[in-house]
Amino acid sequence: MTKPPLPCCPSAEAKYVTELAHVYQFDFDLYQCPDCSRHWVYAWREGQGGWEKTEPEDADKMLGLHGEELRLFMRSWAQAFD
């Protein structure tokens, strides 16, 4: 699957950081821009996907939480997608 360019630095190749919890039928993965260090979540579902803006505090939580805590956080974070 080819991802579109990052919104922050279109010429940069996004660096995969970690897989996040799957909620609302979305597959979420955390990426980081190698040029400006901004984190982005790539959200994918049924052949469609895109970059979602991620605040630094949210990226920190995504990196620090695991298991059920991460799933609950992602459920709250991704409410707008459902």
What pLDDT shows up at residue 81?
65
Averaged confidence pLDDT in the chain: 92
User: CB of 32 within 8 A of CB of 20?
Assistant: no
The pLDDT tens digits for 49-68 are: 899 999 999 999 999 999 99
Strand-pair partners of 14: none
What pLDDT shows up at residue 3?
83
The pLDDT tens digits for 19-49 are: 998 898 899 999 999 999 999 999 998 878 8
* Distance, CA of 37 to CA of 34 (rounded, Å): 5
User: CB of 76 within 8 A of CB of 65?
Assistant: no
Lookup result for tokens 């956080």: 73
